[in-house]
């Protein structure tokens, strides 16, 4: 049975999580198949390099295997999974003396603005240009953009994964979108 993340509806995912918690290997493999590429992409956005990303991903799955039986709520699986991935990736970055970049907060506090979507013109850009531009942003900016738009998480979910207040998430999203647009314009005119 080959499932992608989009194939798993919420109910199906809840059943798989519960089965995996009970030690059913096939259910766990299906969850890994559904999330592995998306988690790897997320980890790479934080680390900024690929060679350590696979090691971090493996560490994430080992931690999930150990802790899954004690997960209180199957409904919380996705946020819990991304939280583990974020913590492991941040630990790897700290190990490389880049803690400041990952943990740097955006000092400017902005008024609340709807950050529901990247402006429509951005979505028409070449996907390679967007990925390259993402790579030029700070880890904190890449992280919120990846979770919000590529993982389609709500602001509340992004807040839970990153451990930042919603106001900080909104601020980071606003800055990240502006910086991403600027980087794309620079790349297109280079």
**164: CATH:** 1.10.10.10
Please give the average per-residue pLDDT across 22-44, as a whole number: 93
For residues 161 and 83, the answer to whether their CB atoms sit within 8 Å is: yes
Among the ranges given (61-70, 74-83, 132-141), the one the predictor scored with the smallest mean pLDDT: 132-141
111 & 175 share domain:
yes
DSSP class of 116: S
For residues 71 and 45, the answer to whether their CB atoms sit within 8 Å is: no
Task: Band the pLDDT of 130: cuts 50, 70, 90.
Answer: confident
92 & 17 share domain:
yes
Of 46, 73, 100, which one is at a domain's C-terminal end?
Answer: 100
Of 68, 85, 100, which one is at a domain's C-terminal end?
Answer: 100
- Nearest-angstrom CA–CA distance, 178 and 190: 18
The pLDDT value given to residue 126: 60
128 & 86 share domain:
no
Please give the average per-residue pLDDT across 172-183, as a whole number: 85
CB atoms within 10 A of CB 25: 9
Please give the average per-residue pLDDT across 169-178, as a whole number: 89
Please give the average per-residue pLDDT across 40-62, as a whole number: 87
């Amino acid at each position: 049975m080959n499932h992608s993340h989009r194939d798993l509806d919420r109910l199906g995912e809840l059943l798989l999580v519960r089965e995996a918690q009970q030690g059913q290997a096939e259910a766990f493999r299906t969850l890994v198949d559904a999330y592995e590429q998306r988690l790897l992409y997320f980890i790479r956005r934080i680390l900024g390099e690929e060679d350590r990303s696979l090691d971090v991903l493996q560490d994430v799955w080992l931690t999930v295997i150990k802790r899954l039986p004690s997960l209180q709520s199957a409904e919380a699986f996705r946020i819990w999974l991304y939280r583990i991935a974020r913590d492991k990736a941040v630990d790897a970055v700290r190990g490389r003396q880049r803690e400041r970049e990952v943990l740097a907060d955006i000092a400017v506090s902005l008024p609340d603005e709807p950050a529901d979507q990247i402006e429509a013109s951005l979505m028409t850009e070449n996907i390679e240009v967007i990925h390259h531009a993402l790579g030029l942003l700070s880890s904190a900016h890449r992280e919120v953009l990846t979770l919000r738009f590529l993982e389609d998480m709500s602001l509340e979910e992004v807040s839970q994964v990153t451990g930042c207040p919603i106001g900080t998430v909104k601020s980071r999203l606003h800055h990240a979108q502006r910086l991403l647009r600027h980087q794309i314009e620079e790349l297109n005119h280079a």
